[in-house]
Every structure is written in structure tokens, then in C-alpha cells.
Amino acid sequence: MRRRAGLGAIQKQKLEQEKYREKGSEIQENQFQQMSKQLEVFRENLEEFATKHKNEIKKNAQFRRQFQEMCAAIGVDPLASGKGFWSVLGIGDFYYELGVQIVEVCLATNYKNGGLITLEELRTRLIAARGKAKKHQEITNEDLLAAVKKLRIFGNGFSVVPIGKGKWLVQSVPGELNLDHTLVLQKVSSLGTAWVSSSILTDDLGWTQTRANNALNYMIKEGLAWVDTQDSKEKLLWFPSMFSDCVSA
């Protein structure tokens, strides 16, 4: 390159640098789009293979591992069996697969819902994560209930609660591991009031009404909270264990 001097040269150089930068980001953007496309192709192919060649993949140990790695990288679910003949009798991998996927959805969302999810939401999420193929769309609520039934053997840690009108709630966190009560207590102590209401929980913690009621009812049942119906708007719950804090404050 020839050497240039003067103000014009500097400006030109600046302009050039600007252009290079633009070009650079343009190239990156392009590359990213290409990658996204490849990701899609990969996803479609993996989904298709998982459905069609399950048994062959299962047989070859080394390939099975590799297939799993690919699925993990791209985010494809290798478990994609159709209902098949045997599932009529409740036998076969189909319901186990669903079971795994159900637990997975519950685990992935329980930071948001505290381990309570409606069957409808569960189904929507499960199908979305399973893939786009048509047969996944045909999974019914009955299939899900049948799959959850298989988990009963683990005690009541994973249970379906009917809430009427053909609707269900799936509870995935057993009482012993449910930290919601602790969160309620933390909330109460931070408020410094020794009482709380379900609207405070839904507003401040972003909980659903069901989640809040579930936690509070449990605490009433366990004798941790006392009910106060004197407030005109809603039921208040007092926590005797917090009284001492009130007095000292």
C-alpha cells in the first residue's frame, strides 16, 4: 500500500476502518444466519432419524452415544416413539418416554411454578419440545395421565390432582422438598408484619393464585398459620412464629 499523508488521508483511513467494521459485522451476521439454517436442517434430520431408526441406533453402542451427543448439542429429543400396537395395553417404551418428558417439563418449569402445572400447559410444552412431527401433536391428555400413573410407584411425590371439569394439575414436588413454604415465611419476615395474604404472594413473588393458595392452605393445615377473616378485602394469615419479631421491632 502506498503511504498517504495529511488530513484527507486520515479521514479516508477512518472511513475505511468504518467500512471494514461494517463489513465485519455483515459477515458475522451472514455466518450466523447460515448457522441457524444448518441448525434447523440438523434438527429436522435428527428428529426424523430418531423416529425411523430407533432400533438400529439402539443396537450400536458407539453410534448410540454419538447420536445422543448430537441430540444434546442441537436440542433434539431422541425419544420419539409413536404409540404403536403395544401401547394400547400400556406396554412398551411409549409411556416411559412420555413419563421422562413429563418429569422433564415439570423440572424445567418448577422454578416458575413451584412444581404445580396444569395438564394443558404440560401438554403444550411437552409437544413443543418433542418436535414438529405430526404424530407428536396427537398426544392426548389421556396419554399423559396414563404415563403419570406409571410414576405412582414412587409414592405421592408425583401426583395428579383433579380440579374438576376435566382439568388436572400435576404436582411434581413432594411436600418434603417444597420450598414454597419457606419462601412464604421469608416473605412474611421481610414484611415485618407477621401476616400475609395470597394477593401479596401473587403480586410480590409473581406466583399464580393456585400456587399461593396451595402453599397457604398447607401451612394452615400444618398449624403454622392462623386465619384472620376480619379484613374486609381478603383473608389474612398470621404466623405466630413471627410474633416475637413484631414485639421486638
Taking CB under 8 A as the criterion, which residues in 88-117 touch other proteins? 93, 96-97, 99-100, 103-105, 107-109
**The only residue of 151, 160, 193, 213 in contact with other proteins, by rule CB under 8 A:** 151
Cα–Cα distance, 102 to 119 (Å, whole number): 10
Minimum distance, C-beta of residue 91 to other proteins, in the bound complex (Å): 10
Residues 66 and 75 sit within 8 Å (Cβ to Cβ): no
Beta-sheet strand order (sheet of 195-196): 195-196, 236-238, 226-228
Our CB check for other proteins shows the closer of 59 and 231 to be: 59
- For position 60 contacting other proteins by CB under 8 A, the verdict is yes
**The only residue of 3, 65, 165, 221 in contact with other proteins, by rule CB under 8 A:** 65
- For position 227 contacting other proteins by CB under 8 A, the verdict is no
Residues 84 and 92 sit within 8 Å (Cβ to Cβ): yes
DSSP secondary structure code for residue 173 in this structure: S
**The only residue of 119, 139, 173, 216 in contact with other proteins, by rule CB under 8 A:** 173
Give the side-chain half-sphere CA count within 13 A for 24.
6
Question: Taking CB under 8 A as the criterion, which residues in 8-37 touch other proteins?
Answer: 20, 23, 27, 30-32, 34-36
Question: Taking CB under 8 A as the criterion, which residues in 176-215 touch other proteins?
Answer: 176-179, 181-182, 185-186, 189
User: Considering just the CA atoms, what is the radius of gyration of the chain in Å?
Assistant: 28
- For position 222 contacting other proteins by CB under 8 A, the verdict is yes
Cα–Cα distance, 155 to 85 (Å, whole number): 29
